[in-house]
A and B are shown apart, each in its own frame.
Chain A
Amino acid sequence: MRHVSRSARHFARCFIACLLVCSVATAALAVSASAQPDELLIGIEPEHNIFDQMERYRTLADYLSEQLGVKVKLTIMSRYGEVIKRFRTLRLDGAFLTSYTATMGIKELHLEPIASPVNLYGASTSQGYIFVRKDSGIRSMIDMKGGSIVFVDPATMEGYLFPLVFLAQHGVKNINEFFHDYYFSGSHASAIFTVLDGRADIGAAKSTVFDQLVKSDPSIGQELDIIAQSPKAPEVTLCIKSEISQNLRERLTRVLLHMDKTVAGKNVLQQFKAQGFVKSNTEDFAIIEKMAQESLGSLTVHGK
């Protein structure tokens, strides 16, 4: 018998992500500010099922390649918080980033947020949820003391930053002292299943994943209580580095924003599981920086 530890499983997940990186993008080309690049290398943050995720994004990448006349290649970053490191080591030209990492990228790499996908339920934003089992007896902060909490990843707004802010607002300055145990599940869905099973008393995850799971299995909604919700922030945003020519950035934005108006674009959106894209702005991420400053003192303390 062999027991597989959490760290070993995390390593396995990273290894699979690396394999995908190798199979999808073998090399990154440097792009000058003025010249039209031969290709764009775009990073993706890993979701619960990276195989499905790659399939969805590959369709979008093919469409963008055709529309822009520039080969768009994809690479999965090995975990949420590696955006800064990966941008440099993989020489990425852009990435689809969740709100926390997008804010880090905007601040540290001067990335430009281009557009955010609108999901099939019409939302381009997500919120953080803090949730417990309905039969847990947890109704307030005092009931949480001494329990266990599962976060998603230190570089997520919904799965870490928001619960830290919420806890701090309720007088909890040190989670090591307040909780008996805390850990990171690595994905939003995992955090939800962990609380459903009783493997943790309290969980944090993003609303879109939570709502999707409840839709596919209503019993999940019957068993969990949402006890706090964060402000809304863009769920995923395509951010492009400023060295990419303005012309190409504008064309890329235009193609994404008009996808829902063409038959070919609509077909791709259907496979990408989105209704369309909306324009993004740097101001959309101000809330994340404010939350980070309140709870962590700085945005880049975690997940760099």
Chain B
Amino acid sequence: MTGDIPYYRAIHEAFVAEINSRFAGSEKIEIILQRPFPNPISWSNAARKLIAFDVDLIVTYGLPAAEAVIHEKSRIPLVYAGLFEPENAAIKAKNATGCGFKVPLSSILRYFKRLKTVNTLGILFCSLEEDSVRQFETMQDLAAQQNIKTEKIDIRSRADLDKLKAMESDVVFISGSSLVHLFLDDIIKLLEQQRIPVATIFPDDTEAGVLVTLSQPPISQGHLAAEMAWQILLGTKPADINAYTFRDTELVFNKVEARRLEIDFPIQLLIEATRVIE
């Protein structure tokens, strides 16, 4: 796991359930779970530990963990999941395959604009996580096309949360960074004090207070990763299994948070939602 956050945990739970059902009645699968704190040293240590255990297969959730395993140049096959736009990630290894997701970031901006006037968009990302940086750059480009200014906040440690106290943004997009999501509760509290609404692309399963969530359901990634792992354990080479990008999304609006922020969801907007938290 790139970081012990609900999104990766949900993928992992789906993975475990599926892989166990596939091997039911035959050899028992032993799973060693590593939950490193999101930083390069921890990712690297976790990858080395698993390689030292000489496991049959490594499964990673999130890009940095996958990169850490590939960096070790082990011969152990790798199945990755939870990668944002894996086709754009630098995952190039013969013994690796996996799945990821794509969420149109433009939709997040569109929903923000339907809720309030957006002159400045705050973007929270982590420069240690390449996919988080890509999301920051994409969102910055989208905002520029619509003459919206951006406020860039790089979260590399808890101390960086202090930067949020001086934010001047109308709305904030939280990128799919494990480190940023590890501090989600604290981030929401700080931004709530300034009445700044938040949107993100990881499900807010703990209902921390994200106003708009557009995310890919993690269960399907867990199931597909298990299917890939099963095939590899039965002898298929990772290179013979095509990587896959999930594009289905769910849109969740949090009306409880909207009331706190004194934002009204128009009825035409509410009917778009897959789920409304009330």
Contacts and interface: CB of A to CB of B under 8 A. Distances in A.
B247 A136 contact: yes
B173 to A, nearest CB: 15
Contacts of A196: 104, 106-107, 110
Q: Which of A133, A190, A219 has the most CB of B within 10 A?
A: A219
Given A49-B268, A197-B251, A223 B106 contact: yes
Contact of A219 (B142, B248, B273, B277): B142
Contact of A4 (B104, B106, B275): B275
A4 B250 CA distance: 13
A189 B250 CA distance: 17
Nearest to B214: A197
Given A197-B107, A197-B214, A219-B106, A3 B268 contact: no
Contacts of B278: 1-2, 4
A199 B248 contact: yes
A197 B103 CA distance: 7
Contacts of A193: 107, 110, 272
Interface string B241-278: 00000011111000000000000000110111111111
Interface string A182-202: 000011011001101111010
Q: How large is the interface on B (under 10, 10 to 19, 20 to 34, 35 or more residues)?
A: 20 to 34
A4 B267 CA distance: 13
Interface string A215-233: 0010100010000000000
Interface in B73-112: 102-104, 106-107, 110
A194 B250 CA distance: 10
A261 interface: no
A1 B253 CA distance: 12
B104 A223 contact: yes
Interface in A160-187: 186-187
A223 B142 CA distance: 12
Given A3-B276, A4-B276, A219-B145, A198 B103 contact: yes
B104 A133 contact: yes
A110 interface: no
A201 B104 contact: no
B268 A198 contact: no
A196 B247 CA distance: 11
Interface of A: 1-4, 9, 12-13, 16, 48-49, 133, 135-136, 148, 186-187, 189-190, 193-194, 196-199, 201, 217, 219, 223
Return the 5 tightest CB-CB contacts between A and B, nearest first.
Answer: A198-B249, A4-B276, A197-B107, A2-B278, A198-B247
Given A4-B273, A49-B268, A199-B274, 5 more contacts: A2-B276, A12-B267, A197-B249, A198-B107, A201-B247
